[in-house]
Structure 1
């Protein structure tokens, strides 16, 4: 299915297919047509030549008392040499051979056609398994006021003509083969030159996605230049909107924190009020973080997952060093290409960090972080050897409003943050039992 979609939706594949179709179909068709035309010309030349031989024989043919009188030697010397490949025969109405040239001596008489008087016929026969061409012409000789029909047959070995045709075919198809190779080379160069702007365009888009560029800078053909300008305008607008969102959210955070701090500092507040204020402060921080992640969710950002994961593994290994928690990190990359997360580095760090931290708290001795890239997806898997989660907890752990203290140690409010972040990037979050370590297994999948 992937290969079919590639051929259907790739411009390069369409160019290659159409070019090869033109070369593979058109050139052989031209060669076949030229070959047939050459064969027709050869046949016409043979017929004209045999017709000329026939008239030379007819010119010296005489009928006396119903018998054919021919000179002992004909003008064309091949008629006089035995087995020369050029023969002349004369037959009567009963298809009997009444005369044959000296070259026909010792050769078995073939079956010959006899056209009507005044008509000629050109055809092929085999003599001793060798192909020959025949030109037969029927005339009437006047004798004593009577017409005596006779048919003159000129027979010639076709080997010489076949050699010419074979040599022409070899030369023709050899040059067509060379021409096909030349055209394929020309098509390859032409295709590379034609698609170069598209390749540069794709490379710049990739650099924008990875955050290496903020806009498209190359000069493109008119057809692509319009699209490049529109994309740059979209990038600038999106950047400005994200900046406005961040500034507005920062102002909102500052304006809310100050009143909350003042209220919390009031001495008459009891313990329950302090707890509720802490809860409000936590909710505000959480919702602001979620809103900021959405505001920062630019389609063109790209983060190297390995860099983030390596730092988190190193940090958490130090934090849980005294607990003897071993964090194993595995990275599998598709075609040795870097694992890229299409989003904000803070969000990625939040998701992996929360999952790893929870896994370390729940684990007995071992935690596994497995990151793998496929052709069209990024997979992040965190497993531990802890007690795991029940089936009920696996289905309810991400439900909004569920309290953190309903989970066993290691699975708290951070999972709700992870769930919302994953949803904001249109990813998938799945929790199950780890068959490898026996504890919980959290899987994140993001489409590339």
Structure 2
């Protein structure tokens, strides 16, 4: 639209200026040719006898015979005299030999402007002059009549009122600009409709991709022109392939974990197994359970369905309230914005479930849950009024490969799963002590979750 506006605003006025300039030049040339023809018509009836100019009383062109008609003519002759003898200077004066009846109301200057006074026999000049406050065209043609051995030089001047020409040009410009303005509006409207029609598939594609990205659709369903059909087909194939690969990955992990469960169950059934071996088998079982949960995790993907946080949170809080019904603990929930978790519902339950379960175990009386949308990021904050976590333990928990279940009850169980899930969604886990409640504070941040 910007390029279109620039093109219309620059090109059309430029064309208009070219048209106006060409039209004005054409009109001026037409007037020059018209006045030139009038000069020849006057010369045709002019005669010189005994060094005297003889002109008819009435000319064929009636405008020369009507006073103030706007078309005037006069014949002048340049004379040299010595009128100023005191200063001993020579003055060139213009002597009017004849004037048309239409010129009786105008006063001619004694001395013509220099370009007109400098004409010699055979010269022609078309210009503008000011007479009695009027702007006029003037065409001058210098000639010389020959009478015997003597020559009789003179200059024919044809004058035309410029006002009619100026009004005509002004009216033409107004009509041109008015027509140009209408044309610009029509072109802009047509181009706008054309752009909207031609770019509609791109707009549709943008909305569909955004819907898929926000989890409102699983693939592109609209029909696109052939220029975009190949692209949309490949996008749908990419979506389907990504979903299948993710499912195969989860199935492979699940199958591997389940295949290890059976031989481990056989080993655990042995009566003569030592305590050391039993501990290692338990650790293997714990690892398999952890990997099974990871297999169920969808992980980060640009094409996951969006899950509304509030329904999941309400269901989870109701469950925890039933489990810890004996504990007199107050849970404060603050939800801000349109809260959507772009991921799997089971993963969201796992994240919130582990952290809230730990908070219930660690809290003395109060738990505060805050979920907000900050720009494109979803921020989940869970605080309690328990004993908190030491700064040394916080740094160890966040280190890769360090197990979190070695810490005190209330913050160890499930932290490894939370940490891995957050990492799979390319989020951030921040652990600190709550300034408001005094206990632990867990903050989860998931970017581009809107």
Structures share fold, TM-score greater than 0.5: yes
Decide whether aligned partners of structure 1 residues 73 and 285 sit closer, same or farther in structure 2, where only a CA change above 3 A counts.
Answer: same
Tell me which residue corresponds to 1:367.
368
SS in 2 for 1:73: coil
The aligned counterpart of 1:6 is none
User: Structure 1's 241 and 34: CA in aligned 2 closer, same or farther, altered over 3 A?
Assistant: same
- State whether structure 2 residue 99 is matched by structure 1 residue 100: yes
SS at match of 2:146: strand
Please list every run of 5 or more consecutive structure 1 residues that lacks an aligned counterpart in the other structure: 1-15, 334-338
Instruction: Provide closer, same or farther for how the CA distance between residues 378 and 124 of structure 1 changes in structure 2, counting only shifts above 3 A.
Output: same
Pick aligned residue for 2:187 from 183, 187, 201: 183
Distance 1:366-1:343 versus aligned 2 partners, 3 A rule = closer
Partner residue, 1:344:
344
Is residue 2:134 matched to residue 1:136?
no
Q: Is 1:299 aligned to residue 284 of structure 2?
A: no
Aligned pairs (5 A) from 1:85-124: 85-93=70-78, 94=92, 96-98=94-96, 99-109=98-108, 111-112=112-113, 113-114=115-116, 115-124=119-128
Contact 2:301 2:425 in 1 (8 A): no
2:31 to 32, 35, 46: 46
Secondary structure, aligned partner of 1:346:
helix
Unpaired segments ≥5 residues, structure 2? 79-91
Mapped to 1, the partners of 2:433 and 2:169 lie a distance apart of 78
Aligned residue for 2:445?
Answer: 444
Aligned counterparts of 1:79 and 1:438: Cα–Cα separation in 2: 110
Does 1:382 pair with 2:407?
no
Q: Residue 332 of structure 2 aligns with which residue?
A: 327
Distance, in Å, in 1 between the alignment partners of 2:319 and 2:158 is 103
Name 1:73's counterpart in structure 2.
58
Summarize the Cα distance change of 1:149–1:369 in structure 2 as closer, same or farther, 3 Å threshold: same
- Which structure has the greater CA radius of gyration? 2
Q: 2:238 aligns with which of 230, 234, 242?
A: 234
Give the drift of 1:157. 1.6
Query: Alpha carbon RMSD of aligned pairs, Å?
Result: 3.1
C-alpha displacement of 1:214: 4.2
> How much has 1:174 moved relative to structure 2?
1.3
Hey, what does 2:11 align to over in structure 1? 26
Distance 1:442 1:359, change over 3 A: farther
SS in 1 for 2:135: strand
Cα offset, 1:323, TM superposition: 3.0
SS, match of residue 398 in structure 2:
coil
1:178-226 deviation digits (Å, cap 9, x = unpaired): 1111111111221122122223333433444455554434332222121
**Could you say what secondary structure the match of 1:52 adopts?**
helix
Q: Deviations over 1:245-287 (max 9, x none)?
A: 2332222222222233333344445666554433322222223
Secondary structure in structure 1 of the residue aligned to 2:420: helix
Q: Secondary structure at the match of 2:166?
A: helix
**Post-superposition shift, 1:328?**
1.8
Q: What SS does structure 2 have at the residue aligned with 1:236? A: helix
Compute the TM-score of the two structures, normalised by the length of structure 2. 0.82
TM-score, normalised relative to structure 1:
0.82
Name the CA shift for 1:53/1:372 in 2 (closer, same or farther; >3 Å).
same
1:121-270 to 2 correspondences below 5 Å:
121-211=125-215, 213-269=217-273
Count residues with an aligned counterpart: 425
Distance in 2 separating the partners of 1:328 and 1:97: 108
Q: The residue matched to 1:116 in structure 2 has which SS?
A: coil
Distance change (3 Å), C-alpha of 1:145 and 1:381: farther
Distance 1:130 1:360 in 2: 101
CA 1:315–1:100: 2 relative to 1, 3 Å: farther
SS at match of 1:74: coil
**Post-superposition offset of 1:430:** 3.7
Secondary structure, aligned partner of 2:447:
strand
CA contact (8 A) 1:308 1:349 kept: yes
